[in-house]
C-alpha cells in the first residue's frame, strides 16, 4: 500500500504541451519510464535528459524496488538494454549486501548480455578500456560469475562477437568459478579463443555468401537449397523467421517448406516461448505487403534468378494473423456483457519511431495493443483521437489488418491530442460503459482552446452517467505525467509495449496494481 498512497498525492503540474497534468510517485514514474525505454531521443525528451531523469528517480526509490523492476523489465516485459542500465546505476548507489549480485544474475538472460552489461558499466561510469574495468563492482562481479555458469559452449560461441568487450575479456574480468569439470573446459576454451564455431542460420548463410558462383541462377539455386535446409533443421529461431519472411520468399523455397514456416508461426507453444513484442508481427506483416522499391528489386534480381512463390504471400499473412491471435488468447475479463471503449492516440507526438533503426512508431504499438484487446472483446467500440474522436467499425479476427486500416485512416481525425473528447462523447450520448481504455503518450491537451479537460470530463461521467466505469491509461512513452489523478475515481495506469501489459490489467481487476506485480518479483 505504500506505493498506492504515494501515487495518491494531489500534486498538479503541466505536461510537455503546457496542459494540466498530475505527478506520479517516484516508483510509478520509474516504472513507466523503464517499460517504455528507448535509447534514442523521444518526441518531447532528449536521450541525455531522459537518462538524467532515470538516475534521479533511481536515487529516490527503494533499492530493492529498483532491483525488482530491473528483473521484471527483463523477464516479464522482454526489455534488454534498460535492465542493464538499472543494475549499473544501482551498483553506484547501493552496497552492504548482495542485492546488486542477485539483480545482476537476474537480468542476464543470454550469454551476450554478460559483455553487454560490462560495456554498459564501462560507458555509464566513463571507464574506457578493459583495464579500467578491473575496478568493477564486486557485487556485479559476483552476479556475473553466477551467470557465467548458466551457459554452455554453444551459447558462448553463438554470442562470442567481435565487440569492444569480448567474451574472453569478460572471463578475465569476472574470474568465474566453474561449477564442474565440463564448465572449466568451456572456460579454458574461451580463454584460448578455441570455442567451436556454432551451427547457426547466420553462419551458414554468411559462409554461402562468401562463395563465387558461375551465374546468378546458380547462386539463387544455392540460396534456395540452403534456406530449405535451415528450415528443415529447425535451427532458425522464431524471431529470425519473423524477420526473414521476405528473404525466404525471395529465395523461392518449395511450398512444403512454406507450410513448415507457417506451421511454426502459428504454433501456440512456440508463440508463447518466443516472447515477441506484438509490434514484431506488425513489422513482418508490413514487410510482406509493402512493395519493394526499384532499387530493392534490382538488388534482388541480381542476387537471384529464380523466384516463384510470391503467390504464397497470402498464406504467410494468414499465418501471422493466427500467430497474433494466439498471443492474445490468454487475455481475460471480457465477456458479452462487458462494455468496452478502446481509444487510440494518433497525434503527432505518437508518430515517433521507437528507435533510430525501427520503422515502428509509438502509435503502431498503441494500435497493436488495442487491436489485441479488441479481438477478445464482445461488446466493444474502438476508435482514434487527434483533433477529433472517431469510432471505426472493424472485424474481430483481423488484428494486423485492423491496425493497417487505422493506419490508413489516421489523417481523418487530425494530429492534436484531444483525449477528453472520448469521455465527452460518452457523456453526450449517455453511453454507459464498463471500461474505457486510452492508448497514448499521456500528453493530452485541448487544442480547441476551451476549458474542457479529461479530468473534469471523467468526474462528470462517473457522477452522472456510469458510476461503475473504470478508466485505464496505457502509457506508451513514460514521460512521467498523468492526465488524471491516478487511483482515484477508478483511474488506473498501465505502461509498456509487451502483451504482458494485459497481465497488469488482470491484476488491477483483482485489486492489485502494476507496482504490486513488480514487488512480487523474487530476487
Q: Indicate if the alpha-carbon torsion angle 490, 493, 499, 505 is positive or negative.
A: negative
Q: How many CA atoms lie within 13 A of 68 on its CB side?
A: 16
pLDDT of residue 20: 87
Per residue in 20-39, pLDDT (tens digit) is 889 899 999 999 999 998 76
Could you give the angle at which helices 81-93 and 112-124 cross, rounded to 10 degrees?
Answer: 50
Q: Establish if 196 belongs to a structural domain.
A: no
Residue where a domain terminates, one of 147, 172, 191: 191
Is the pLDDT score of 507 beyond 70?
yes
How confident is the prediction for the chain on average, in pLDDT? 88
* In contact, 398 and 435? CB cutoff 8 Å: no
Q: Are residues 453 and 511 in the same domain?
A: yes
Who's near 415: CB < 8 A, 6+ residues apart?
A: 346, 347, 348, 351, 386, 387
| pLDDT above 80: residue 116 | yes
Query: Domain boundary residue among 128, 158, 191?
Result: 191
Name the residue among 224, 342, 237 with its Cα closest to residue 280.
237
| Burial degree of 474 (CB within 10 A; 0-12, 13-18, 19+) | buried
**Cell numbers for 8:** 495518491
Give the confidence band of 470 by pLDDT, cuts at 50, 70, 90: very high
Q: Alpha-carbon distance 402 to 416, whole Å?
A: 22
- Give pLDDT, residue 468: 96
Q: What percent of the chain has pLDDT over 70?
A: 92
SS3 sequence, 373-435?
A: HHCCCCEEEEEEECCCEEECCCCCCCHHHHHHHHHHHHHHHCCCCCCHHHHHHHHHHCCCCCE
279 occurs within a structural domain = yes
Structural domain total, the chain: 3
Decide which of 9 and 466 is more confident: 466
Average pLDDT estimate for 394-410: 91
96 shares a domain with 44: yes
Q: Is 376 found in the same domain as 230?
A: no
Q: Could you give the strand order of the β-sheet that contains 12-14, starting from the edge strand earlier in sequence?
A: 12-14, 20-23, 481-482
When pLDDT is averaged across residues 144-161 and rounded to a whole number, the result is 93
**pLDDT tens column, 270-319:** 998 888 889 899 999 999 988 754 434 544 544 444 555 667 889 999 99
The answer to which of 78-92, 174-188, 439-453 has the lowest mean pLDDT is: 439-453
If asked whether residues 68 and 129 sit together in one domain, one would say yes
In this structure, are 307 and 370 located in the same domain?
no
Collapse the DSSP code of 509 into the 3-class scheme (helix H, G, I; strand E, B; otherwise coil) and give the result. Answer: helix
Residue 503 covered by a domain: yes
Look at residue 367 and tell me if it is in a domain.
yes
The pLDDT tens digits for 230-283 are 999 988 999 999 999 999 998 999 999 999 999 999 999 999 888 888 989 999
Q: Is residue 68 part of a domain?
A: yes
Q: Are residues 506 and 371 in the same domain?
A: yes
Residue 6 lies in a domain: no
- 35-74 pLDDT, tens digit per residue, is 998 766 677 577 888 899 999 999 999 999 999 999 999 9
Range of the domain at 514: 339-519
How far from 179 is each of 186, 194, 196, 341, 497, CA to CA, in Å?
Answer: 11, 20, 21, 54, 37
Res 108 pLDDT > 50:
yes
Q: Among 191, 215, 231, give the residue marking a domain's end.
A: 191
**Nearest-angstrom CA–CA distance, 139 and 99:** 8
Closest CA to 16 of 61, 49, 48, 63: 49
Q: Which residue do the cell numbers 552496497 mark?
A: 95
Is 315 in contact with 258 (CB distance < 8 Å)?
yes
Residue 100 lies in a domain: yes
Residue 510 pLDDT more than 90?
no
Residues 258 and 307 in one domain: yes
Q: How far apart are CA 491 and CA 69, in angstroms?
A: 22
Query: What is the residue-wise DSSP string for 293-340?
Result: PHHHHHHHHHH-S----GGGHHHHHHHHHHHHHHHTTT--S--TT-EE
Same domain, 317 and 407: no
Residue of 54, 12, 52 lying closest to 36 (CA atoms): 54
pLDDT for 354 equals 82
List Cβ neighbours of 455 (8 Å cut-off, separation of 6 or more).
20, 22, 483, 484, 485
Look at phi and psi of residue 486 and say left if phi exceeds 0, alpha if psi is from -120 to 50, else beta: beta
Q: Is residue 501 helix, strand or coil?
A: helix
Both 112 and 146 in a single domain?
yes
24 contact partners, CB below 8 Å, separation of at least 6? 7, 32, 480, 481, 482, 486, 493
Predicted pLDDT of residue 2: 40
pLDDT category of residue 132 using cuts at 50, 70 and 90 = low
What phi and psi, each to the nearest 5 degrees, are found at residue 137?
-50, 130
- Would you state the cell numbers that stand for residue 292, as one nine-digit string? 519493394
Give yes or no: residues 210 and 321 share one domain: yes
Q: What is the pLDDT of residue 305?
A: 44
pLDDT of residue 8: 45
Same domain? For 128 and 76 the reply is yes
Would 431 be classed as within a structural domain?
A: yes
pLDDT exceeds 80 at position 103:
yes
pLDDT value at position 45? 75
Contact residues for 202 (Cβ-Cβ < 8 A; gap 6+) = none
Average pLDDT over residues 120-138: 76
* Whether pLDDT at 335 is above 90: no
Amino acid at each position: 500500500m505504500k506505493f498506492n498512497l504515494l501515487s495518491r498525492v494531489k500534486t498538479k503540474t503541466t505536461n510537455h504541451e503546457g496542459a494540466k497534468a498530475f505527478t506520479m510517485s517516484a516508483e510509478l514514474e520509474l516504472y513507466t519510464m523503464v517499460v517504455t525505454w528507448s535509447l534514442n531521443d523521444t518526441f518531447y525528451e532528449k536521450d541525455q535528459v531522459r537518462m538524467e531523469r532515470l538516475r534521479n528517480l533511481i536515487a529516490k526509490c527503494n533499492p530493492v524496488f529498483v532491483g525488482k523492476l530491473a528483473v521484471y523489465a527483463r523477464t516479464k516485459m522482454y526489455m534488454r538494454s534498460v535492465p542493464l542500465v538499472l543494475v549499473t546505476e544501482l551498483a553506484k548507489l547501493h552496497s552492504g549486501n548482495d542485492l546488486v549480485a542477485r539483480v545482476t544474475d537476474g537480468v542476464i538472460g543470454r550469454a551476450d548480455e554478460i559483455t553487454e552489461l560490462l560495456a554498459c558499466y564501462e560507458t555509464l561510469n566513463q571507464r574506457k578500456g578493459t583495464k579500467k574495468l578491473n575496478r568493477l563492482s564486486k557485487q556485479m562481479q559476483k552476479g556475473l560469475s553466477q551467470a557465467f555458469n548458466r551457459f554452455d559452449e554453444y551459447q558462448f560461441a553463438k554470442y562470442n562477437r567481435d565487440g569492444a568487450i569480448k567474451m574472453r575479456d569478460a572471463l578475465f574480468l569476472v574470474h568465474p568459478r566453474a561449477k564442474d569439470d565440463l564448465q572449466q573446459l568451456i572456460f579454458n576454451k574461451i580463454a584460448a579463443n578455441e570455442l567451436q564455431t556454432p551451427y547457426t542460420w547466420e553462419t551458414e548463410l554468411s559462409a554461402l555468401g562468401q562463395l563465387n558462383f558461375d551465374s546468378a541462377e546458380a547462386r539463387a539455386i544455392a540460396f534456395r537449397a540452403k534456406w530449405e535446409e535451415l528450415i528443415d533443421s529447425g535451427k532458425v529461431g522464431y524471431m529470425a523467421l519473423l524477420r526473414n519472411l521476405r528473404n525466404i520468399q525471395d529465395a523461392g523455397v518449395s511450398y512444403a517448406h512454406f507450410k513448415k514456416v507457417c506451421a511454426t508461426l502459428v504454433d501456440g507453444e512456440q508463440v508463447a516461448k518466443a516472447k515477441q513484442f506484438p509490434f514484431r508481427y506488425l513489422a513482418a506483416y508490413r514487410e510482406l505487403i509493402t512493395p519493394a522499391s526499384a532499387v530493392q528489386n534490382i538488388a534482388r534480381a541480381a542476387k537471384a534468378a529464380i523466384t516463384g512463390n510470391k503467390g504464397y504471400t497470402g498464406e504467410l499473412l494468414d499465418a501471422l494473423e493466427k500467430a497474433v491471435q494466439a498471443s492474445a488468447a490468454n487475455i481475460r475479463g471480457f465477456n458479452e456483457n462487458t462494455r468496452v471503449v478502446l481509444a487510440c492516440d494518433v497525434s503527432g507526438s505518437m508518430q515517433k519511431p521507437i528507435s533510430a533503426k525501427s520503422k515502428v512508431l509509438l502509435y503502431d504499438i498503441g494500435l497493436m495493443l488495442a487491436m489485441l484487446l479488441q479481438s477478445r472483446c464482445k461488446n466493444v467500440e474502438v476508435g482514434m483521437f487527434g483533433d477529433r474522436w472517431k469510432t471505426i467499425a472493424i472485424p474481430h479476427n483481423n488484428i494486423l489488418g485492423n491496425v493497417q486500416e487505422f493506419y490508413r485512416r489516421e489523417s481523418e481525425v487530425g494530429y492534436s491530442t484531444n483525449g477528453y473528447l472520448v469521455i465527452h462523447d460518452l457523456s453526450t450520448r449517455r453511453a454507459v460503459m464498463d471500461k474505457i481504455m486510452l492508448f497514448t503518450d499521456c500528453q493530452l491537451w485541448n487544442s480547441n482552446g476551451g476549458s474542457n479537460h479529461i479530468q473534469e470530463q471523467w468526474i462528470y461521467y462517473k457522477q452522472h452517467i456510469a458510476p461503475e466505469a473504470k478508466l485505464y491509461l496505457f502509457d506508451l512513452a513514460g514521460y512521467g505525467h498523468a492526465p488524471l489523478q491516478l487511483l482515484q475515481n477508478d483511474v488506473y495506469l498501465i505502461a509498456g509495449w509487451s502483451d504482458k501489459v494485459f497481465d497488469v490489467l488482470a491484476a488491477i481487476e483483482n485489486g492489485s496494481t502494476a507496482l504490486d506485480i513488480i514487488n512480487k518479483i523474487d530476487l
